[in-house]
Homo-oligomer: A and B are copies of this chain.
Amino acid sequence: MRKLSLKELNRVSPKEFKEQKKAPIIIVLDNVRSALNVGSAFRTADAFALEKIYLCGITATPPHREILKTAIGATESMDWEYQKEVGETLQQLKAEGYTLLAVEQVDERTYLQDFKADKTKKYALILGNEVKGVSEEAIALTDQCLEVPQYGTKHSLNVSVCLGVVTWELFRQLKF
């Protein structure tokens, strides 16, 4: 097996990216504390060609040194917007027809392996603060909560990793 050169990967330019068809998925970061996690969200959203990222509350916004470290340029391609109140963002997305999925450990959660995406729908994935999780305000507005099943000693996955896992699962089901 031969490793591919960067050229052979045939990636799109930021201009081509903006014009291409997107996966019907929006990311909402609800008071994410670490700018490294924000940058990583940009990079993941770019990789799966998602529609947009909403940065809410205390979530850092580009340009930002730490975001740049993990986004590595994906802030140029990805469409994003800052909104102070996550509740307003979610109500707006609901009005636009998005199904709201919060990634959070609640009593009435759907484990990720049991989630069945509907290919006729468009989704907003809400990820919360590293310590407090998704806010009560966002949980109250969400249609469904997803939980990544966990069998270890720690309470949760890293926010960036969790976002990657859930985005992949949703993307895989919608795309393939």
Contacts and interface: CB of A to CB of B under 8 A. Distances in A.
Interface of A: 1-4, 6, 9, 11-14, 17, 20, 23, 36, 40, 43-49, 70, 72-74, 76-77, 104-109, 112-113, 133, 136, 139, 142, 145, 148, 150-158, 160-165, 168-169, 172, 175-176
B74 A1 contact: no
A155 B1 contact: no
A47 B112 CA distance: 14
A162 B150 CA distance: 18
A59 B4 CA distance: 23
Contact of A158 (B11, B44, B172): B44
26 contacts: A2-B107, A3-B104, A3-B136, A4-B107, A9-B105, A9-B155, A11-B152, A11-B153, A13-B153, A40-B158, A43-B154, A43-B157, A44-B158, A46-B154, A47-B150, A47-B154, A47-B156, A48-B151, A49-B151, A72-B154, A73-B153, A113-B172, A160-B164, A161-B161, A164-B165, A168-B169
A157 B105 contact: no
Most buried by B among A14, A154, A155, A157: A154
A3 B168 contact: no
Nearest to A152: B46
Copies in the assembly, this chain: 2
Contacts of A152: 11-12, 17, 45-49, 74, 77
Given A9-B150, A165-B168, 11 more contacts: A1-B139, A3-B136, A4-B106, A11-B150, A11-B155, A40-B158, A44-B158, A44-B161, A46-B153, A47-B156, A160-B164
